[in-house]
Amino acid sequence: MSRRVFVVGAGVAGLAAAVEAQRRGARVVLHEAAPHAGGRCRSFFDAKLGVTLDNGNHLLLSGNQSTMAYLRAIGATGTLIGPTQPEYPFFDVATGDAWTVRMSPGRLPRWIFDAETRVRRRLVELAETYEDGVVPLTQEDIAAMAGTSRATVNRVLREEQKLGAVALARGRTSVLDVAELRARCGYGRMT
């Protein structure tokens, strides 16, 4: 006789547990207090708008192996859509600020080995620290903070100056466009 398993909650965790227990031969009873399954990760029909809405943004990272295993188990892997690269564009309606979070492919944060990316990330941090984005530090200071040479800092600053993201005057760096600079940071977003 197969065992009976009671699962409490039909959120993603409960649904995955129920499917796995049944796969292993148990007779599963799934209890859910709400009138629907899905828990915090579900869609609902909004009668006012006449469309099906998700209850909130859900970003699913491919490294989330448990969720991926659940999707495979229920044959839903093909229902996912996503970017070919691990990156997520965001837009802040209140400020108009747009940025993209880029993940480092694989487990290693490889951007830390890229000196130019480190310089750009430092500049974003500094621009957000100092008033009006004016960074009163020398190129040597920025180089020391980014763990690279002054020549690399100079190369990055000249390039960003050409692209209109920074202005250089009297040893100061004015970051004119943090969003643009951030977009060229390679991976991740500085906050």
Ligand X SMILES: Cc1cc2nc3c(=O)[nH]c(=O)nc-3n(C[C@H](O)[C@H](O)[C@H](O)COP(=O)(O)OP(=O)(O)OC[C@H]3O[C@@H](n4cnc5c(N)ncnc54)[C@H](O)[C@@H]3O)c2cc1C
Instruction: Name the residues that contact ligand X, by CB under 6 A.
Output: 8-14, 31-34, 39-41, 55-59
Cα 45 to Cα 43: distance, rounded to the nearest angstrom: 7
* CB of 2 closer than 8 Å to CB of 26: yes
Tell the smallest beta-carbon distance from residue 42 to ligand X (Å): 8
Give the nearer residue to ligand X in terms of CB position, either 31 or 110.
31
Looking at residue 23, the DSSP 8-state letter turns out to be H
Q: CA quadruple 157, 162, 164, 169: dihedral positive or negative? A: positive
Q: For residue 13, give every residue at least 6 positions away whose Cβ sits within 8 Å of its Cβ, in sequence order, or none.
A: 39
Tell the smallest beta-carbon distance from residue 140 to ligand X (Å): 41
180 Cα distance to chain centroid: 17
Give the nearer residue to ligand X in terms of CB position, either 100 or 154.
100
Q: For residue 92, give every residue at least 6 positions away whose Cβ sits within 8 Å of its Cβ, in sequence order, or none.
A: 98
Tell the smallest beta-carbon distance from residue 158 to ligand X (Å): 39
| Bridge partners, 43 (sequence order) | 54
Give the nearer residue to ligand X in terms of CB position, either 14 or 133.
14
Give the nearer residue to ligand X in terms of CB position, either 1 or 33.
33
Tell the smallest beta-carbon distance from residue 143 to ligand X (Å): 37
Tell the smallest beta-carbon distance from residue 108 to ligand X (Å): 22
**Amino acid letter at 161?**
Q
Give the nearer residue to ligand X in terms of CB position, either 73 or 134.
73
Cα 43 to Cα 59: distance, rounded to the nearest angstrom: 14
